[in-house]
Structure 1
């Protein structure tokens, strides 16, 4: 229990730091007169607030590992990549994002299993196995769904999310799948170590 509380405290501080950083960016880019960057900071704060609202409305308890991954993903994609323009600084940052999205989606699949099962577990071992397999398949499927979305918007609105390349599309899916597989292996280790359903982590 104390360990979980420490993790929540770390996540609370991390989220607070993101809010503070968004506020600093807003003021800085307001002074500089760079409107797109200024509104990007507002969007980041809005996303953080929206996540809190969704959690409250759905009465969902977001376990520590998932919350940390979501906050880190926001920092990397919305701050480093977009607000600070690190796409041109860090090679293959887009691929790192897709890799990391596989991790997050795997944890989201785990959360979906938790909500769907209603914590009624007749067998600890089988529940852990089902949870992990569902999480893996959910994450891999969502990697494909995202590429379908990018393909559709590219062709309907003349965007270039996929760089007009099958190689880019498949590499993104592969990166997402690798992230999902690595997370699933982590969950297997956790389940075996504690001999209990991973959703109680």
Structure 2
């Protein structure tokens, strides 16, 4: 796990430079084209890695470079490609892909939150049933909050981000459903992690996060 973390630390400056360059170019391009909305989206994307570092500082976490890469890629696919490059409009089913990926990513974040909140900072196989329920509820809560935000946007600006005019409630329900499917898929490697101590790529990220930032130092030393 630590070797993988070291590799991701080395590539961090490279992908962050590319990330910032892409958003800077998009911001300038849309400014030149006279499209201020998309220009603002492009320039604002530059702030994401900085916001991620702010979250680390607030939580008093050491950076986890694998997690940084995953979240930056997640942001790039959903925000940059989906919104600024209009992927949601021009790529068939891209919206459903994005919501499925949201279920995957927030299942991992839900697992981190579970042990962050758990008073006893120890991983036990007995935690598995409650972990599964928590991850499902956490992902569905995120999906619901997203749909509520889209509903609020439609009320305030008269737009239709939920496609209610063309699909009724179908689009909203499918978004929540594919998010749930993404989370259920993640529960498979989660089960292997708890029962057979096998860490996939996602669970490897959690393992590093747990031992670096969640578990107490003396407990971490004992488990390693």
* TM-score, normalised by the number of residues in structure 2: 0.75
Whether 2:109 is the aligned partner of 1:102: answer no
* Structure 2 gap segments, 5+ residues each: 209-224
* TM-score, normalised by the number of residues in structure 1: 0.82
Q: 2:172 aligns with which of 169, 172, 184?
A: 169
Q: 1:200 aligns with which of 192, 199, 207?
A: 207
Corresponding pairs, count:
199
- The secondary structure found in structure 1 opposite 2:121 is coil
Q: Deviations over 1:167-199 (max 9, x none)?
A: 111101101101111112122233344268x54
Q: Deviations over 1:40-77 (max 9, x none)?
A: 11110123322221221221356555433321221112
8 Å CA contact retained: 1:66, 1:107: no
- Alpha carbons of structure 1 residues 61 and 88: separation in structure 2 relative to 1, 3 Å: same
Q: What is the Cα deviation at residue 92 of structure 1?
A: 1.1
8 Å CA contact retained: 2:99, 2:178: yes
Question: How does 1:129-144 map onto structure 2 within 5 Å?
Answer: 129-144=129-144
State the match for 1:18 in structure 2.
19
Judge which range, 79-88 or 40-49, deviates more. Answer: 79-88
Q: Deviations over 1:104-159 (max 9, x none)?
A: 211111121232136621x6322455434422321123222322333344345533
Give, in whole Å, the separation in 2 of the partners of 1:114 and 1:34: 44
Q: 1:186 aligns with which of 184, 189, 196?
A: 189
- The secondary structure found in structure 1 opposite 2:46 is helix
Question: How does 1:1-201 map onto structure 2 within 5 Å?
Answer: 1-61=2-62, 63=64, 66-117=67-118, 120-121=121-122, 124-155=124-155, 157-164=157-164, 165-194=168-197, 199-201=206-208
8 Å CA contact retained: 2:124, 2:194: no
Q: What is the Cα deviation at residue 11 of structure 1?
A: 4.8
Give, in whole Å, the separation in 1 of the partners of 2:128 and 2:64: 16
Give, in whole Å, the separation in 1 of the partners of 2:66 and 2:183: 14
- Alpha carbons of structure 1 residues 183 and 65: separation in structure 2 relative to 1, 3 Å: farther
8 Å CA contact retained: 2:192, 2:198: no
Give, in whole Å, the separation in 2 of the partners of 1:182 and 1:27: 39
RMSD value over aligned CA atoms? 2.7
Q: What is the Cα deviation at residue 100 of structure 1?
A: 0.9
